[in-house]
Structures are given as C-alpha cells and as structure tokens.
Amino acid sequence: MHKKGINKIQYIPDLNVVVTCSVDSNITIINFDLLLELFNEKDHIVTLESLKKVSRRIPAIDHEKKIKTFSEHNKSVKTFAWSPKFRIMASAGDERYM
C-alpha cells in the first residue's frame, strides 16, 4: 500500500472508502468492503500482523477500481480533507500547495 509511514488515515462514509496519505508522496483510496474481505472474520482487531497479511495480498487482487493511488505530490503528503457538500478532496504536503 505505502512504502513509508502513513501521516493520516480516515474512513469516509459517503464513499465507503478508507483514505491514507503518506511520507511516500502518495494518497491511497481503498474500498472499505475490500478491506473487510481481506481480513479474516475472526480478526476483529487490526494488528500489525493482520495489516502485513493485507498488504501482502492486495497486489495480487484484480483491483477493478477498488484501490486507487494518486501520486500528484512530489514530497510527503501531510493531510487531506473530504467535502461531502462539494464531493471533492483536497490534499496538502511538504510542497506547500493543494
């Protein structure tokens, strides 16, 4: 999913997705249902081990628009915000532009 540390993670119910931004300059949007499929039904708590299992399996999945990665930033992405009213997402990072 990300090659470096995650700065922010957020569930956006309007879109049923989990959005992450990272030091690796990427924003990743993952369909929440896909994440649920990847976890064992017995795993109700997200642990480092369960995340490792998920990250190993994600590249093998036929994404079909369930996972999107945006690489518009050249440096670390510090944050993002979703506007449900305007249905737009903004992000900001070390480059100091949105």
Neighbours of 2 (CB within 10 A): 18
Determine how β-strand 27-31 pairs with β-strand 67-70: antiparallel
* Whole-number pLDDT of residue 31: 82
Neighbours of 19 (CB within 10 A): 21
Alpha helices (runs of H) in 43-82, residue ranges in sequence order: 48-57
Of 32, 22, 27, give the one whose Cα is nearest residue 66.
32
* Whole-number pLDDT of residue 41: 53
- Give the global pTM: 0.73
Per-residue pLDDT tens, the chain, 98 aa: give them. Answer: 677 888 999 999 999 899 999 999 999 898 887 777 666 555 555 555 666 666 666 555 555 556 788 888 889 999 999 999 999 999 999 987 77
DSSP structure string for 20-46: EEETTS-EEEEEHHHHHHHS-TT--S-
